[in-house]
Amino acid sequence: MMIDVEDLIALVRNYNPRCNADLIRQAYAYGTKMHEGQFRKSGEPYFTHPVAVAAILTEQHLDDATIITALLHDTIEDTKSTYTEVERLFGHEVAELVDGVTKLTNLQLSSTHSQQAENFRKLFMAMSKDLRVILVKLADRLHNMRTIKSMKVEKQAQKARETMEIFAPLAGRMGMQWMREELEDLAFKVLNPEARASIIRRFLMLQREAGDVIHKITADIRTELEKVQVDAAVYGRAKKPYSIWRKMQEKDLAFSRLSDIYGFRVICGSVADCYTILGVIHQRWRAVPGRFKDYISQPKSNGYRSIHATVSGRDGKRVEVQIRTQEMHEVAEAGVAAHWSYREGVRAKNPFAVDPAKWIAQLTERFDEGDHDEFLENVKLEMYSDQVFCFTPKGDVVQLPRGATPLDFAYAIHTRIGNSTVSAKVDGIRVPLWTRLKNGQSVEIITAEGQRPQASWVDIVTTGRAKAAIRRSLREEDKGRFIRLGQELARAAFEHVGKKATDKALRTAARMLGQPDETELLARLGSAELTARKVVETLYPELSQKVVDEVDAARPVLGLPDDQTVRRAPCCQPLPGERIVGITYRGQGVVVHAIDCPALEEFEEQPNRWIDLHWHAGRHKAVNTVGLELTISNDAGVLGRICTLIGEQKANISDLKFTERKPDFYRLLVDVDLRDVEHLHMVMTALEAETDVAQVSRHRDLARRP
């Protein structure tokens, strides 16, 4: 059912009594007339959609121009209306906004990889002119996702993927968390309805067993606040099914082991109250170590401020509590859109609202250079990242995505400093360049004349800026060597499928892969930014199954001279696919350790023994032994079934010994020969699914250190 024009105006007047009601009426009448005779897939008149989009934007208390743009956003695209006519009737500002939304609608964001990158660039250019364009587009996408059932099944899947990959993270990056969550959940409903239904079922079961946990915990928090006479509103909610599912995937946990499926929000009057409330909550419940974030003293780049504290609540269940003031809450709900919000008839002067021009400049400043792929990588890294704040020795703040390293820090200061980095100190202690930085750390970068970026750095850094700068430097320095190496790789890969790597074939592949010419294609092959397999697959998809880059088991890692002997550390048993480091041992050559191996602690003061290594790309042979610790039922045939399961995953058992025998269970160690970390995951998943396996874990034995 379509919202009546007077009802729409009433929605706007709720927050902006001085709105231009006549212009809204005029836009409503114009849209009705232009879309006359057009219908949605559901059979409703088409104009119900623009009106619904406008209504969504009133919830964010947006200005007249944005509401009118929503009503007209499809007129230039789908009717006989023109830019000139919209400008004459509704002014230059509205015409520009409608034109911006029209251009966004025409972008095929889920198209081929290189097109997608170019379209992403256009999306960000349109946003940088006026961010309200994307606010209308997000509301447009939200209404389309809410009514997606009337679309064809394949169209539903395409729209849902695009929403999950682009629009949901973009809404999150802009600080509109509620919209991100709803978009993700609507897309999840289309892409994986069984998983979503399963989570909802389990959730209802949990509620039946535990009762109304939300009501109990909010009552507990209110009682504690009353004791110290702090006036605050307390809200609780269950997290969205997609949010729960993502956490299950990330942490590899079963639903029953998930802790923070409930979220609580405390909204108070002042910053001082925020910290008082934090103290009250930490006195009443036990804080969970490592799960505290203070975005009040270090706000996110989109203006978001809050304190996040996770505590062990009733029955040891973890709950996350967000504490913020009313003004912070408005920014948390509207994000960057808070800049245009009205409150009581005037543009809200919210001190926490971020300046959209500065925000978009920050997001796009590094996207002017480099090629399409790098641009796409940069955008996605920027959009998905959470933040850490580190300090220079002078006390200046450097903002980086979570997971960033001292190398990212160096490149964030200046490309020249990044390129000449030799080592780093964090809080005064020398650390390896791949160390993950934490909030509040002080970082000092040590540089040297003549130092150049190394190929392994690309895997160490996480920011788009650093990756682009390292690749550019490597390309310039080693282009000749890379081209020669690329020619050899291409020749071997083409011969493997009975073809020749002619100039014409390489030129065609370069065009199809978005490269300027065959020379650049070969340089990228040689620098390992492109695989020869990808080139052959692009030209001859029907032959691509034959292309398997088998890795020589005797030389599984990159970063060592050919004559250097290398072996896997028996303590951590690293696998291809895991981050690794080499340690030199006298008389033993180089031993490869997993980056998180506790045995590395003893070498912290001996940086000269550390070597940057990474695994060869390609298919590794199943020769990497890993120990698995299993607890199984003591029943006839169980051990046989488990050995069969491991065999079915194409993994060989090289040793097996019992460590504990009890009347009802056995504990045993099984040595399995595997290809890589993915192969390990397949074996462990198969074992976990077996009902007679109570527990399975990877066995690491520090006593076996080299």
pLDDT tens-digit series, residues 300-348: 776 788 999 888 865 667 788 999 998 888 888 777 776 666 655 566 5
Residues contacting residue 250 through CB under 8 Å, at least 6 positions apart: none
Looking at 155, 176, 191, the residue that finishes a domain is 191
| Per-residue 3-state assignment (H helix, E strand, C coil) for 473-521 | HHHHHHHHHHHHHHHHHHHHHHHHCCCCCCHHHHHHHHHHCCCCCHHHH
CA dist 492 and 495 (Å) reads 5
How far is the C-alpha of 43 from the C-alpha of 116, rounded, in Å?
32
> Any alpha helices (H) in 147-192, and if so which ranges?
153-162, 168-173, 177-191
Question: Which domain range does residue 526 map to?
Answer: 469-546
Of 299, 317, 306, the closest CA to residue 274 belongs to: 306
From the candidates 44, 59, 78, 690, which is the catalytic residue?
78
Predicted TM-score (pTM) of this structure: 0.54
| Residue 322 CB contacts under 8 Å (≥ 6 apart), including other chains | 263, 264, 265, 266, 306, 307, 308
**CA neighbours closer than 13 Å in the CB half-sphere of residue 258:** 25
Return the half-sphere exposure (C-beta side, CA atoms, 13 A cut-off) of residue 121. 16
Q: Do 418 and 297 belong to one domain?
A: no
> What is the rounded CA–CA span in Å between residue 422 and residue 428?
16
pLDDT in tens, 487-504: 888 887 787 777 888 888
Q: Please indicate, yes or no, whether residues 92 and 159 belong to a single structural domain of this protein.
A: yes
What contacts 24+ positions apart, CB below 8 Å, involve 89-98?
89/26, 89/30, 90/23, 90/26, 90/27, 93/65, 94/27, 94/65, 94/68, 94/69, 96/129, 96/130, 97/65, 97/66, 97/69, 97/130, 97/132, 97/133, 97/136, 98/69, 98/72, 98/73
- Among 498, 531, 546, the domain-final residue is 546
Tell whether 116 and 183 lie within a shared domain.
yes
Tell me, what's the pLDDT at 546? 44
Q: Of 608, 499, 595, which Cα lies nearest the Cα of 547?
A: 499
* Whole-number pLDDT of residue 120: 61
Tell me which DSSP letter residue 435 carries: P
Q: Which of 297, 326, 347 is the last residue of a domain?
A: 347
Task: Report the b/e string of 347-363 with b at 16+ CB within 10 A.
Answer: ebebebbbebeebbeeb
The full DSSP string for 3-63 is PPHHHHHHHHHTT-TT--HHHHHHHHHHHHHHTTT-B-TTSSBTTHHHHHHHHHHHTTT--
Report the CATH number at residue 397. 3.10.20.30
pLDDT at 368: 47
User: Is residue 308 located within the same domain as residue 390?
Assistant: no
Residue 364 lies in a domain: no
| 3-state secondary structure string across 228-284 | CCCCCEEEEEECCHHHHHHHHHHHCCCHHHCCCCEEEEEEECCHHHHHHHHHHHHHH
The reply to whether 29 and 177 lie within a common domain is yes
| Positions of the chain with pLDDT under 70 | 1, 106-129, 209-211, 249-260, 302, 313-316, 338-387, 478, 527-528, 542-549
pLDDT attached to residue 43 = 83
Same domain, 186 and 105: yes
Residue 377 resides in a domain: no
**472 phi/psi in degrees, rounded to 5:** -65, -45
Closest CA to 47 of 88, 99, 3, 17: 3
Residue 363 lies in a domain: no
User: Is 422 within a domain?
Assistant: yes
Of 378, 367, 432, 366, nearest to 405 by C-alpha is 432
Largest Cα span, the chain: 87
Give the C-alpha separation, 577 to 593, whole Å: 13
Spatial distance between the Cα atoms of 335 and 172, rounded to a whole number of angstroms: 9
Query: Are 451 and 511 found together in one domain?
Result: no
Q: Does the active-site annotation cover 78?
A: yes
DSSP states of 514-565 as a string?
Answer: T-SSHHHHHHHHHTTSS-HHHHHHHH-GGGGGG---BPPTTS-EESS-TT--
Residue 612 inside a domain? The answer is yes
Tell how strand 665-674 and strand 624-633 pair up. antiparallel
Of 59, 77, 671, 692, catalytic: 77
Report which of 166, 288, 190, 291 is spatially closest to residue 241, judged by C-alpha positions.
Answer: 190
Helix (H) / strand (E) containing 319: strand 318-325
* Distance in angstroms (rounded) separating the CA atoms of residues 701 and 665: 23
Is residue 434 within 8 A of residue 460, CB to CB? The reply is: yes
DSSP E strand boundaries for 601-646: 610-612, 614-615, 624-633
Regarding whether 205 and 170 lie in a shared domain, the answer is no
Host H or E run for residue 121: helix 113-129
In the beta sheet, which residues pair with residue 39?
A: 45
Retrieve residue 152's tokens: 């064809």
- With residues binned 3-state (H G I as helix, E B as strand, rest as coil), the percentages for the chain, rounded to 5, are 50, 20, 30
Please check whether residues 458 and 473 belong to one and the same domain.
no
What is the CATH classification number for the domain harbouring 582? Answer: 3.30.70.260
**Cβ(203)–Cβ(238) below 8 Å:** yes
Nearest Cα to 424, choosing from 462, 392, 380, 379? 392
Task: Say if 352 falls within a structural domain.
Answer: no
Q: Report the distance separating Cα 384 and Cα 378, nearest Å.
A: 10
Alpha-carbon gap, residue 557 to 576, rounded angstroms: 9
| Contacts (Cβ under 8 Å, ≥6 apart) of 268 | 230, 231, 232, 233, 274, 277, 323, 324, 325, 326
Contact at 8 Å (CB) between 142 and 182? yes
Centre a 10 Å sphere on the Cβ of residue 136 and count the other Cβ atoms it contains. Answer: 27
At residue 685, the pLDDT reads 72
520 within a domain of the structure (yes/no) = yes
Q: In this structure, is residue 539 part of a structural domain?
A: yes
Q: Are 236 and 322 in contact (CB under 8 A)?
A: no
CA distance 27 to 57: 15
Q: Which pLDDT belongs to residue 591? A: 92
3-state SS, one letter per residue, for 210-221: HCCHHHHHHHHH
Q: For residues 79 and 77, what is the distance between their CA atoms, to the nearest angstrom?
A: 6
Domain count, the chain: 5
Among 545, 542, 592, 548, CA closest to 567: 592
Pair (425, 498) in one structural domain: no
- pLDDT value, residue 541: 74
Question: CATH number, domain at 337?
Answer: 3.30.460.10
Task: Give the pair of three-digit tokens for residue 291.
Answer: 């799960």
CB 564 within 8 A of CB 514: no
Same domain, 613 and 541: no
